Structure 1
Amino acid sequence: MKLSFRARMSALHTWTGLLLGWVLYFMFVTGTLGYLDTEIDRWMKPELPEAQYVSEPGQAIQTSFDYLNSVAPNAESWLIQLPKNRNQPYLQVHWKLPDEGARKTELLDIHTGQPFDTRETKGGQLLYQMHWKLHYLPRTISDWVVTLATLFMFVAIVTGVIVHKKIFTEFFTFRPKKGARSWLDMHNLMSVTTLPFQLMITYSGLVFMMFVCFPWIISTFYGPGQDNKQQFFHEVFVSLPDAKPSGTPSAMLPVPALLEEAEKHMPLQRISGIEVEAPNDEASRIAFNSGVSESLLRSAEIVTLNASTGELILHRTQTGSAARGFRDVMLGLHEGLYAGPWLRLLYVVSGLMGCAMVATGVFYWVKSRQKKEKKNTQRKDLRWVQAVNVGVVLGFPVALPVYFLANRLLPTDYAGRSEMEVACLFSAWLVAILVASVLPSKKAVLWLSVAGALLYALLPVLAATTATRHLFNAHMHQDWVLAGFDATTLLTATLLAGLAWYCHRKKEG
């Protein structure tokens, strides 16, 4: 019998949603947490003071130059990020030495000009990078997995809209205690409520990965080979080749003189970052960048000067071609760095509802098929899928507090402590998956919920014993970032305790 168009779309929606549902869930959770990376960093580095913002760049740049000249006067490059807003709350400097591959990084106290003495940790930035690097996977593999998952997500959204011809009517329908029907109603509720957000975040995600999805576009117009690919990126992003040191030492202009030249092309208040190539060399140059986090456009305005003479080398405006402008807007929407507090809250809530959308979808897939089976029959493949559902959907959030606990419990001088924090996170997640695989699903949900509630409730207590600023003395220090983190963990503990209580009552009933 021929299937109708809607029936075909329903099958496509179901299978695209399931095949990479677990990856999508992981991406949604880490992406939502990564959006709060700055706040998570603050909790994981309790030695830091409150944010040190500057309105005028002069003194902060001078402080950075003084420090970099003392530790790396002959570096290949310097990079300075000014503390302008919550996306960059501290003065941060990077430098790269000729004989070393990776850049070194320090956060500087804007008052003393010296680095903060903080513990080693990957912090919230790790969770943000997990969102698209998937951790432990080679970059080439993770890029394709993320691209395919995002593409499947986009297909699932479009086909979902086609399948649900009564999509807005069903939005107001929720039938509790109806098994598979309840899971579907909740899935519809989460999907329709955040439909514009999900379309935006998925499509913009594809734009992010466009050079992975369609690499042949570059070779079609520019020809094959790495050199032609580099030419494409150079023309699209107007990047400058690295400045090669001449070997002749030459003092750079004083900071006030460099700022005076830069101000002729860009207001000083817009400067967010400074990059110096070949510092203290005759060929040195300095680039002043505007902040990409202060507007919807993802690209920055750049003013590049000869650091020894002040001569203008390049002035790239924030806007360019229509194609680049569209891409910049899509990336800006995806990252949401431009958003104010209330819009940021909307991003976070929408991200959490996206997590619930994927979670209810994968649970509905199992429930709908279990309903079709005979009462005394339990297919092994459905049991396996259900176990993975519990281990991923509930197991990963339950494992997350172990990452934060390790941050406070590991000795601050422990070698490789940041990698150990990550190892503790994934080890705890593996344990959660094993629990879900061994125990019946209802019992696994009960015990994982209890464990999660205890772990999250422990975090504020641990914070109060390992730091001077925390939730319980917020009224004295007014450090609402740390207090907000602790309050969120208590709320999460309460929700998990409620889930455990519900599972226990249902088991007794």
Structure 2
Amino acid sequence: MSDLHIWTGLLLGWILYAMFLTGTVAYFRDEMSQWMRPELAAQAQVPDAAEVVQRLADTMSVLAPDSPQWSFTPPGARNNVASASWANPRIPGRRGFASAVFDPATGQKVEARDTAGGDFFYRFHFQFHYMPVPWGRWLAGLCAMFMLVAIVSGVITHKKIFVDFFTFRWGKGQRSWLDAHNALSVFGLPFHLMITYSGLVTLMLLYMPWGSDAAFRTPAERQTLTAQMNANVPAGKSSGEKAALAPIADMMRQAQARWGRDNIGRVTVTHPGDAAARVVVVRGDFERVSTSPQYLLFDGVKGSLLQARDRVGAAAETRGVVYALHLGRFADPWVRWLYFLVSLAGTAMVGTGLVLWTVKRRARLPDPERPHFGFRLVERLNIAGIAGLSIAMVVFLWGNRLLPAGLPQRGEWEIHLFFAAWAVALAHALLRPAKQAWLEQLWLAAALLVLLPVLNALSTERGLFASLAAGDWVFAGFDLTLLALGGLHAALAVRAARHRPRGRAARRGAEPDATPARPRSTRA
């Protein structure tokens, strides 16, 4: 169990660390997306979704009148823009869909910088980038399975794990790293198990399709399975007969009376302008710990209610609850911050485990000044995977403020900057002495984080002090969080500067450690 815990935690640990950290910040992806579009004013209150969607439908009737499908997402408490996508087979990529964000007050396209926003980190944490989506999700599933095995084997291996949670010995080298790893592991153990297992469940039909393939053989049966998990109503065929679309606002108000004014998740219109038009209004996830589909299906021409889906089967509902626990979209601000902090502790758990591997083995090296290739590889990947990832993520945010607004494919260039910075961090870690590389990258990450609010104040009218004065807590909270994370990286840099590795040669002349050695079988 000890060897299993060590190697499942190490072999894919750097990818797991990246998945954990990007998934952690994704809990505030809507707020991050707002910060990355500073041209859009903060909304004083959530606008009426029925009126917003009606404006979007009117705009789409001019923008894409021949599209066979429109899909609208109204603004919410955490999102100050409305978004729309529409089918257009002539557009390459993205499965023939185009998308844009719109001003809720006017229904017109917003004039804001092109950016992936917080959605980049959300999608990266389970499907990565620069590779086909199924490959990325398969890789994420493999990493999640390694993580699940590492958690279970870690609990079995650490027989005194709950006792050790209340013990921390500062400045004891390997012992301190082990105590930190134990404390971080126990602090969020139920959350770590839940988030890892639920991550696998969300894509279970991709990883293990054979059960559903055997149970649902015909297209109609598989359509029934899909309907239990998603609010995807078959569009049917167009009639070819022109007909005006009924007012969508009236249909929306029926849904609002059922679920609440601000709890509309998505509206889909199929075959708009045709006599066979259908409108699907989907319930949102607000204050509902389940993602199981609940929707109303309307006749798009007559405006009459055709079907109401209020519940699904027990298995589908269980899956919906597990999925909702993973996403955390139901959470109010306090619960969302709790998600963030415990997930950040999980990120630190993975990071301390990676560092512990090198700290523990350095003491056993015959010559710590000339370690073998495997040790040097792990050590340098730790630097780039931990400190380098922080640099890459904050460079992504710097790019949002510094790239020219009219740059073609500007959102993609923000992502290119992220990976370019990460690659430079890896090259730096390979070329510099290990301790110097740690210090330089941690200090650089701290400086970039602390100076980013300054750049925001210089490049926009929504700096920290202006946001505090206006009560704009999205921008103010984001800047304050950046300053706190910058302070954390600075503290880690100071701690790394004071660290003195204890190799075998150094220990011969040193006084023996009073702490009794523990059997290897009780430690990872």
TM-score (norm 1): 0.91
* CA offsets 1:293-315 (integer angstroms, 9 cap, x no match): 43111123111011112343322
Specify which of 163, 166, 177 is matched with residue 160 of structure 2.
166
Distance in 1 (alpha carbons) for counterparts of 2:193 and 2:259? 36
SS at 1:309's partner residue? coil
Distance in 1 (alpha carbons) for counterparts of 2:133 and 2:280? 29
Distance 1:139 1:108, change over 3 A: closer
Specify which of 334, 337, 347 is matched with residue 339 of structure 2.
347
Is residue 2:470 matched to residue 1:477? yes
Aligned to 1:467: 460
Aligned to 2:381: 388
Q: How does 1:8-407 map to 2 (within 5 A)?
A: 9-51=1-43, 53-54=45-46, 56-86=48-78, 88-97=79-88, 99-100=90-91, 101-223=95-217, 232-234=225-227, 237=230, 239-255=232-248, 257-259=250-252, 270-317=263-310, 319-375=311-367, 378-407=371-400
CA drift of 1:269 comes to 5.6
CA contact (8 A) 1:251 1:280 kept: yes
CA drift of 1:166 comes to 1.0
Moved more, 38-47 or 108-117: 108-117
SS at 2:371's partner residue? coil
Q: How does 1:419-434 map to 2 (within 5 A)?
A: 419-434=412-427
Q: Could you tell me the percent identity over the aligned residues?
A: 38
CA contact (8 A) 1:94 1:106 kept: yes
CA contact (8 A) 1:53 1:90 kept: no
SS at 1:122's partner residue? coil
Distance in 2 (alpha carbons) for counterparts of 1:300 and 1:384? 47
Q: How many residues align?
A: 498
CA drift of 1:54 comes to 3.6
Amino acid at match of 1:89: N
TM-score (norm 2): 0.89
CA contact (8 A) 2:174 2:356 kept: yes
SS at 1:386's partner residue? helix
CA drift of 1:489 comes to 1.8
Amino acid at match of 1:274: V
Distance 1:286 1:227, change over 3 A: closer
Distance in 1 (alpha carbons) for counterparts of 2:87 and 2:386? 41
SS at 1:394's partner residue? helix
Aligned to 1:5: none
Distance in 1 (alpha carbons) for counterparts of 2:105 and 2:354? 52
Distance in 1 (alpha carbons) for counterparts of 2:289 and 2:122? 19
CA drift of 1:226 comes to 8.3
* CA offsets 1:242-263 (integer angstroms, 9 cap, x no match): 2322221101223455456657
Distance in 1 (alpha carbons) for counterparts of 2:491 and 2:257? 60
Distance 1:165 1:175, change over 3 A: same
CA drift of 1:61 comes to 2.6
CA contact (8 A) 2:275 2:301 kept: yes
CA contact (8 A) 2:468 2:476 kept: no
Aligned to 1:435: 428
Distance in 2 (alpha carbons) for counterparts of 1:149 and 1:449? 26
Structure with more contact order per residue of length (Cα contacts < 8 Å, sep ≥ 6): 2
SS at 2:57's partner residue? helix
CA contact (8 A) 1:30 1:127 kept: yes
Distance in 2 (alpha carbons) for counterparts of 1:390 and 1:273? 42
Distance in 2 (alpha carbons) for counterparts of 1:469 and 1:26? 30
CA contact (8 A) 2:50 2:250 kept: no
Distance in 1 (alpha carbons) for counterparts of 2:357 and 2:86? 51
CA drift of 1:411 comes to 0.7
Distance 1:256 1:14, change over 3 A: closer
CA drift of 1:111 comes to 2.6
Distance in 2 (alpha carbons) for counterparts of 1:289 and 1:153? 34
CA drift of 1:506 comes to 4.7
CA contact (8 A) 1:265 1:315 kept: no
Distance in 1 (alpha carbons) for counterparts of 2:262 and 2:396? 38
SS at 1:48's partner residue? coil
Distance 1:381 1:241, change over 3 A: same
CA contact (8 A) 2:256 2:263 kept: no
CA drift of 1:215 comes to 1.6
Amino acid at match of 2:173: G
Distance in 2 (alpha carbons) for counterparts of 1:263 and 1:446? 55
Moved more, 258-267 or 328-337: 258-267
Distance in 2 (alpha carbons) for counterparts of 1:437 and 1:203? 35
CA contact (8 A) 2:231 2:295 kept: no
CA contact (8 A) 1:54 1:82 kept: no
Structure 1 segments unaligned to the other structure (5+ residues): 1-8
Specify which of 433, 446, 471 is matched with residue 439 of structure 2.
446
CA contact (8 A) 1:84 1:272 kept: no
Moved more, 130-139 or 67-76: 67-76
Distance 1:409 1:238, change over 3 A: closer
